[in-house]
Structures are given as structure tokens and as C-alpha cells.
Amino acid sequence: MENKLGKIYIVGLGPGDRDHFSYRAVQAIEESDVIAGYGMYVDLVKDLLEGKEVISKGMKREIERANLSIEEAKKGKNVAVISGGDPGVYGMAGIVLELADPEIEIEVVPGITAATAAAASLGAPLMHDFALISLSDLLTPYDKIMDRIKHCSMADMAIVIYNPRSHGRQKHLDEAREIMLQYKSPETPVGLVRNAKRGEEEVVITTLGNLPNEEVDMLTVVLVGNSETREQNGKMITPRGYHKKEEYHA
């Protein structure tokens, strides 16, 4: 008799604070027999792990973690692959979906991604079109990243930057800033949010001309406004255009 296949949940834990977990995320973990994830994320749900198997692999071992999760599902076990933020935004959803057999049922459980977590702490900077770009060139060629920065700046989009600076990438943010300054005013508001929506959050609003590279690290989200973004009462606001609409109809 053929074994019944298990189900894979790819679960977004949001910024990391339990207050920002979704009900469905907790439910999916509770329904699973196996929990797979990077150690830091496994620790966030340790109170939900009683009686469950745990697959914990380090950074840069995503393919191995995905394959092990798929193998467990083939044995008939329900598996929760946990991911920080939203699993479909630089998370585990893509690799699991790429590798899994079509017969395995997969549910992607969304979570709050760092871009919207940081935006909430800054005010309302993403009320209009925006781009989300990682400066990590581990998987994407550096020239392609900078080309995307250029064209999004030319299009006057707000830009959210992930992975802006690390020990091995000291100058990427400076170089991205120089490209943006070719198309954006030095007075463009920029928000820096470190540890967005988790303990010891730090929020700074500055300008593109004064962007302090040395205060930014891998835990920082850099949010660059568009030509209409402004700072008001200590918050960043990118107008959606509602006032213009009212004036037009008047």
C-alpha cells in the first residue's frame, strides 16, 4: 500500500516578534510533525516544538533544508518550513516549490516582510509604487543589482533596500547611493530601521545626501523615498494622491 504524502507548509514568521505572527502561521506549526528552519527562526517557535522533529541547518544550506523537508513529506509527515519575514520574499518558498514533487500539497503562509515592518515604523513611505532590492550579490550579479537601482531611480520609485551592508560588502550602499543621486534629490527623505518590529528597534530619518553608510548593517532596512516623499511630524509620508483626486473632481 502506497504511503499517503504529507503536506508542506512554508511559514512566514514576520519580523520575529510573536505579536506579529499570524494566526495561520501558529496553526500551521501546530499541525506539523516536523519543523525545518534556520536555528534562529526555530528558536522563535521553541514553545511550539514539543513532540515534533526539528531539522535545523545553518545559513547557505537552504537547498539541503528544502530537500530534507520534502523527504519527510514523502514519508507522510506534515512539515513546516519556517522562514523569517514573508517566505515568498527572499525566503524559502521559491526553493521548496522548485524542488518538490507535484503530488505534494504545499501551502505558503505569508508573513510580514521587513519592508512593510520598517515602513510602519517610519510612517507611510510606501503609499505609492516602490521597489524592493537586496544589495547581496551572493546570488545576483553586482552589475545587475546596480542596474536595477538605476532604473528604479529613473522611474521615481521609492526603493526599499535589504542587506545594505556587511563585513564583505562595505561599499555597495555607497555606490547605490551615488547612482540614486543621479536621479533623486539629495533632500529625498531616507528612513533607516534596524531590528524592525522586534526588540531594540532603532529608527532614523535622514536624507539621501546625508545617508550614513557606517550606521547601516545587515539588520537595517534602508527606505529611500520618491520625489514626493516628505518628512512630517517625525514620520515619512509618500502621498498617494487623494488630495489631487478631490481637487480634480471639485
Distances (CA, A) of 120 to 64, 86, 125, 201: 34, 16, 8, 12
| Residue 32 shares a structural domain with residue 107 | yes
Binning pLDDT at 50, 70 and 90, where does residue 245 land?
low
- Whether residue 15 is contained in a domain is answered as yes
Task: Assess whether pLDDT exceeds 50 at residue 250.
Answer: no
Q: Which of 39-43, 67-71, 93-97 has the lowest mean pLDDT?
A: 39-43
User: Is 1 a member of any domain?
Assistant: no
Instruction: Say how many C-beta atoms besides its own lie within 10 A of residue 135's C-beta.
Output: 22
pLDDT at 215: 83
**pLDDT tens digits, residue range 48-65?**
999 999 998 766 788 999
- pLDDT for residue 212: 86
Domain boundary residue among 112, 133, 152? 112
Angle value at C-alpha 191, between 145 and 182, nearest 5 degrees: 50
Q: Name the pLDDT band for 240 (thresholds 50, 70, 90).
A: confident
- Total structural domains in the chain? 2
Q: What is the mean pLDDT of residues 206-234?
A: 94
User: Is 248 a member of any domain?
Assistant: no
Residues 54 and 133 placed together within one structural domain of the fold: no
Residue 197 neighbours by CB distance under 10 Å: 19
pLDDT digits 0-9 by tens, 129-150: 999 999 999 999 999 999 999 9
Q: Which of 76, 74, 69, 66 is nearest to 98 (CA)?
A: 66
For residues 90 and 181, state if they share a domain: no
**Helix, strand, coil content of the chain in percent (nearest 5):** 35, 25, 40
Say yes or no: 204 and 93 in one domain. no
Q: Which three cell numbers stand for residue 62?
A: 537552504
Summarised one tens digit per residue, pLDDT across range 150-164 is 999 999 999 999 999
Helix (H) or strand (E) holding 151: helix 142-154
Averaged confidence pLDDT in the chain: 92
Classify residue 249: in a domain, yes or no.
Answer: no
> Among the three residues 77, 112, 147, which one is the final residue of a domain in this structure?
112
**CATH number for the domain that contains residue 145:** 3.30.950.10
The pLDDT, as a whole number, for residue 58 is 67
- Residues 121 and 228 reside in one and the same domain: yes
Q: Which domain holds residue 72?
A: 7-112
Reply yes or no on whether the pLDDT at 249 is more than 80: no
Number of H helices and number of E strands within the chain?
Answer: 8, 13
Give the distance, in angstroms, between the CA of residue 100 and the centroid of all CA atoms in the same chain: 23
CATH number at residue 101: 3.40.1010.10
Q: Name, of 83-97, 209-223, 229-243, the range with top average pLDDT.
A: 83-97
Of the candidates 57, 87, 112, which is a domain's last residue? 112
Q: Are residues 219 and 128 in the same domain?
A: yes
Residues 126 and 60 in one domain: no
- CA dist 177 and 73 (Å) reads 45
> Stretch 193-222: mean pLDDT, rounded?
92
Per-residue pLDDT tens digits for 103-115: 999 999 999 999 9
**Is residue 98 located within the same domain as residue 194?**
no
212 and 230 both lie in a single domain:
yes
* Residues 15-37, mean pLDDT to the nearest whole number: 95
Q: Are residues 227 and 121 in the same domain?
A: yes
